[in-house]
Amino acid sequence: MDVLEIRGGRPLEGTTRVYGAKNAALPILAATVMTEGTCELFEVPNLEDIHVMLDILRHLGAGVKRLGQTLYIDASHITKTDVPLHLMRKMRSSIFLMGPLLARFGEVTVSKPGGCVIGQRPIDYHLRGMRLLGAVIQEQHGTVNCVSNRLKGTSITLDFPSVGATENLIMAAVLADGETVLENVAREPEVVDLANFLKTCGAQIEGAGEDTIRIRGVHHLKGSTYRVIPDRIVTGTWMIAAAATQGSIHIEGCEPLHLGALISKLRDAGTKIDIDGDQMWVRGPKQLKAAEIRTAPYPGFPTDLQAPMMALMAAAHGSTFIREDVFEARFKHVGELIRMGADIRVDGRTSLIRGVEQLSGAEVEATDLRGGAALVVAGLLAEGTTKIHGLHHLDRGYQQLDTYLRDLQADIRRVESEEAGMSMP
């Protein structure tokens, strides 16, 4: 297994460009199974989660072709409606195929999904919504089978604005008879992106990005051409890393409007941020200030950036409270940050971070995707060398992370584990 080695203490400098959002691309790829014709998708990141989704589409019978960051998906000849267990275990987002396959073919069989272990993320919201749309569902030995002659529009109110459930129900309702009204839905940019893609295919959707979405079912969807939105979590990670290292970076091809909560907190911490259209200039302060954080569904502070922000606050002046209100087990990175010298106390969903003078490089383990990003931020600002294991987590969400950071002057490299025990040149 590879290890990421980082020699900290160097400010990030230079220009980088953001690629398409993983969390937008995955549901869009799932939605292509409902289309008749070829979908041409631009700015699809080259990530492990994307590879798994493409393997699932191939298993179903779709034609898949990649040219750089562009994907061509032809779902005209899909013959299967089951998602293999070994692929479901690799990625939770494969549950997105439930709605599209059920809507188009009237049947789907999936296993309970896997992915990062960051707390309870039950699929109950998905299943309840499918039942209200008319599906008959049987659950047995970790397998879920859904059947419906024809889904019928209805009114559904989510108990919590789950992004995954919102997206799955949108896709199921697009081909249902009549009108579906979804209330208390997720408002994340990735939800809006999915709706916009579906509309280019012929879907009739109103209200994406608001509390209520209305969908009038159509009989079929056509292929289309579409560009995935920039990845706001990757953008945010680069911004936090620049702030941590007292760096000065220029980010192109981003969407600042999707990062309002983060921009506000970074400015509170002393970071200077200038915005011009799809570009941002981020300059870290000489002395970071503590900035309290509470995660929440969009447009609140994103839970996916909570861990990197904790690494940043570990070296800030003063004390920071972070409240995690989305996933209850998203503090697994705390123990590894403490190994690097951070002063952090956790009580349930709340953590108290007392800023220290300096973090120190250490050998640490990424236990999930965003926790791994926190260790990268900590390694960049720490004194000495940090070695990060568990890179398969980072590969799920960051495309060529070491290459992008080297382009920003970071002293970072990916090495085989046998070499990782040797000192850096």
pLDDT digits (tens, 9 = 90+) for 181-207: 999 999 999 999 999 999 999 999 999
Model pLDDT, residue 424: 41
Model pLDDT, residue 420: 52
Range of the structural domain that residue 373 is part of: 2-18+230-420
* DSSP result, 48-98: HHHHHHHHHHHHHT-EEEEETTEEEEE-TT----B--HHHHTT-GGGGGGH
- Residue 372 maps to a domain: yes
Question: Within this chain, do residues 237 and 135 fall inside the same structural domain, yes or no?
Answer: no
Question: Within this chain, do residues 320 and 262 fall inside the same structural domain, yes or no?
Answer: yes
Report the distance separating Cα 3 and Cα 42, nearest Å.
Answer: 31
Question: Within this chain, do residues 380 and 357 fall inside the same structural domain, yes or no?
Answer: yes
Closest CA to 99 of 128, 77, 119, 126: 126
Please state, rounded to an integer, the average pLDDT across all residues of the chain. 93
Question: Within this chain, do residues 242 and 200 fall inside the same structural domain, yes or no?
Answer: no
Model pLDDT, residue 119: 42
Looking at the chain, the whole-number percentage of residues with pLDDT higher than 70 is: 95
156 three-class SS:
strand
Question: Within this chain, do residues 285 and 351 fall inside the same structural domain, yes or no?
Answer: yes
Cα 45–chain centre separation = 12
Above 60 in pLDDT, residue 421?
A: no
| Annotation says 201 is catalytic | no
Closest CA to 30 of 96, 113, 126, 123: 96
Report the distance separating Cα 395 and Cα 46, nearest Å.
Answer: 9
Catalytic residue among 39, 116, 146, 201: 116
Report the distance separating Cα 203 and Cα 191, nearest Å.
Answer: 14
- Residue 142 maps to a domain: yes
- Residue 74 maps to a domain: yes
Last residue of a domain, one of 195, 210, 227: 227
- Domains in the chain, number: 2
In tens, the pLDDT along 37-53 reads: 999 999 999 999 999 99
Q: At what angle do helices 163-174 and 98-105 cross, to 10 degrees?
A: 10
Mean pLDDT along residues 212-226: 98
Closest CA to 379 of 318, 346, 337: 337
Above 50 in pLDDT, residue 364?
A: yes
Question: Within this chain, do residues 219 and 235 fall inside the same structural domain, yes or no?
Answer: no
- Residue 425 maps to a domain: no
- Residues 321-334 as b/e (b if ≥16 CB within 10 A, e otherwise) read ebebebbeebbbbb
Question: Within this chain, do residues 213 and 289 fall inside the same structural domain, yes or no?
Answer: no
Mean pLDDT along residues 206-211: 98
Sign, CA dihedral 84-89-20-126, equals positive
* Cα distance between the two ends of the chain: 21
Last residue of a domain, one of 177, 199, 227: 227
What CATH number does residue 221 fall under? Answer: 3.65.10.10
Mean pLDDT along residues 362-372: 95
Find all residues with CB under 8 Å of 4, minimum gap 6, and list them.
Answer: 376, 379, 387, 388, 391, 394, 401, 402, 412, 413, 414
Mean pLDDT along residues 324-347: 91
In tens, the pLDDT along 68-99 reads: 999 999 999 999 999 888 887 777 667 889 99
- Assign 329 a pLDDT band (cuts: 50, 70, 90): low
Above 50 in pLDDT, residue 246?
A: yes
Residue 299: cis peptide before it, omega within 30 degrees of 0: yes
Question: Within this chain, do residues 255 and 160 fall inside the same structural domain, yes or no?
Answer: no
Global pTM value: 0.94
Last residue of a domain, one of 182, 212, 227: 227
Question: Within this chain, do residues 214 and 280 fall inside the same structural domain, yes or no?
Answer: no
Question: Within this chain, do residues 300 and 182 fall inside the same structural domain, yes or no?
Answer: no
Question: Within this chain, do residues 337 and 405 fall inside the same structural domain, yes or no?
Answer: yes
Question: Within this chain, do residues 169 and 264 fall inside the same structural domain, yes or no?
Answer: no
- Residues 158-193 as b/e (b if ≥16 CB within 10 A, e otherwise) read beebbbbbbbbbbbbbbbbeeebbbeebbbbbbbbb
* DSSP result, 161-178: --HHHHHHHHHHHHTSBS
